[in-house]
Amino acid sequence: MDFMEYVAALSLVLKGEVQQKLRWYFKLYDVDGSGCINRDELLLIITSIRAINGTPNEVSAEDFADMVFDKIDTNGDGELSYDEFMGGIQNDEMLLRTLTHSLDLSHIVQRIQGDVP
């Protein structure tokens, strides 16, 4: 990812509409670019985001990944297609809220701007 892609992604995450954000989130989670998200990819990104955010979580990353797959892997193949991801996240308020909150970068922007100690 070059600098311009980073700036575009940051702008999207901060100001984009839900559909745009989810499309970007899917690309983020699809680490190998295969067009599907497997459990290992999801777990890797969840763990990484939690490490960056530094906030404690009631549910382990492994349990959260299992829950996501249980809820939205509709065909049970162990991978989340783009359609499964988009539909599943949008139709589950808790998953949508959790995903959006976990990738909320406003606290980082505020820190960069000096608004937060």
Q: Return the biggest CA–CA distance within the chain.
A: 47
Q: What is the pLDDT of residues 50-62, one digit of tens each?
A: 887 776 778 899 9
pTM of this structure: 0.75
CB 9 within 8 A of CB 1: yes
Q: What is the pLDDT of residues 27-80, one digit of tens each?
A: 889 999 999 999 999 999 989 888 877 767 788 999 999 999 999 999 999 999
SS3 23: helix
Domain ranges of the chain: 31-113
- Give the per-residue pLDDT at 22: 87
Residue labelled with tokens 């497997």? 38
- Give which of 108, 97, 77 is closest to 69, Cα–Cα: 77
Helices 82-90, 61-72: crossing angle, 10 deg rounding: 100
Whole-number percent of the chain with pLDDT over 90: 44
Rounded mean pLDDT, 88-106? 82
Average of per-residue pLDDT values in the chain: 81
Q: Does domain 31-113 have CATH number 1.10.238.10?
A: yes
Distance separating alpha carbons of residues 43 and 46, to the nearest angstrom: 5
